[in-house]
Chain A
């Protein structure tokens, strides 16, 4: 994986890094409560993955390449920044904080083709693809990825969320949603401030009331 160059001349700065893959926890405390996430981030560590979840993570890592290959075969195009050539994008001091502590936002998309990001998920240990009720949990990650790349000057209009399995695949096209980005950034800023100020957070934020532009472009409903 290539890491985007960092401008870290300010050696005295303390940096925190919020990853798009954990956006769901930062914003909603879905899998790990926000206050527990804060503790881990303050220590500069990631919460260890339990044995039960590890097998799902390992399966996803193993078959990300199958999901990408499926996307290539369906779309008849070759994306960039895949597998060993993935790029880690970092939006430094994402909230324009003044002082000696900054919070970065980072993401590592699974691939990119023109104005489209690829995000590959391999649920159910390959038994079947996600249905939308499960896949929608990735909206926060997808939206933050789109925001980070656009903020870094890389025009991204949509993401193809690929849910791969041995027997079937579904692909949703998720258009950039400024309203949802704004909503998520508000929650991330709250999280960042709590991180810096050693304060606590409520797990349940106000629900997003806007609309998403999402369509299933491959696979059965």
Chain B
């Protein structure tokens, strides 16, 4: 069996479409979309049944607020995450009750799972479909790569449009990068 790596786990989990598995929380500052904790747990167990969640000592502050700390492990791989105990308006709760803590433990676990890639796109911009990020000029579409390398970009784009090498499904972020490359 292939040994797990952070890269392979991220490549698996960050490509998962979480549409229909989220909930939206409305606050004064905007609407936020979250992956429901039980779906996150289900997906993680599907791909990595050895997953374990461990709770670290929380940080507590003089004003009675606290930060939860969580560790998600897949064999030897792990990520540690944290989250204040918030109310639904994103204000830290002073002297939180058990149910406040439980709600935020679930959020904290999902956030820590996102560090492995699952539902990370929700934290970028709330979209549920996996997002192809433009990582500083990265172009992985072979047709767009040709345009990036072409001396005459106008001709290269026109040719790619004509032969269907690029179309409405092409990433405009990558094509934009290609157009800019001299």
Which secondary structure characterizes the binding site on chain B? helix
Given A80-B154, A84-B182, A167-B125, is A74 in contact with B176 using a C-beta cutoff of 8 Å? no
B88 interface residue (CB < 8 Å to A):
no
Given A74-B168, A78-B161, A166-B125, is A69 in contact with B176 using a C-beta cutoff of 8 Å? yes
- State the CA gap A79–B178 with chains docked (Å): 15
Q: Tell me, rounded to whole Å, the shortest Cβ–Cβ distance linking A118 to chain B.
A: 13
The tally of CB-CB contacts under 8 A between chains A and B is: 54
Given A73-B172, A76-B161, is A83 in contact with B131 using a C-beta cutoff of 8 Å? no
- Chain B 143-161 near chain A by CB (<8 Å), digits 1 or 0: 0000000000010011001
B170 interface residue (CB < 8 Å to A):
yes
Q: Is the CB of A166 within 8 A of B157?
A: no
Q: Tell me, rounded to whole Å, the shortest Cβ–Cβ distance linking A48 to chain B.
A: 27
Q: Across the interface, which residues of B come within 8 angstroms of A82, CB to CB?
A: 179
In the complex, how many residues of chain A place their beta carbon closer than 8 angstroms to a beta carbon of chain B? Answer: 22
Q: Across the interface, which residues of B come within 8 angstroms of A74, CB to CB?
A: 168
Q: Across the interface, which residues of B come within 8 angstroms of A80, CB to CB?
A: 154
Which secondary structure characterizes the binding site on chain A? helix
Contact partner of B157 among A65, A70, A72, A84, CB < 8 A? A72
Minimum CB distance partner of A128 in chain B: B125
Within 8 A of A (CB), among B111-126: 124-126
B180 interface residue (CB < 8 Å to A):
yes
Q: Across the interface, which residues of A come within 8 angstroms of B172, CB to CB?
A: 66-67, 69-70, 73, 164
| Supplied contacts A69-B179, A82-B179, A166-B125, 6 more A-B pairs, CB within 8 Å | A65-B177, A65-B179, A65-B180, A69-B173, A73-B166, A84-B182
Q: List the interface of chain B (C-beta within 8 A of A).
A: 124-127, 131, 154, 157-158, 161, 166-168, 170, 172-180, 182
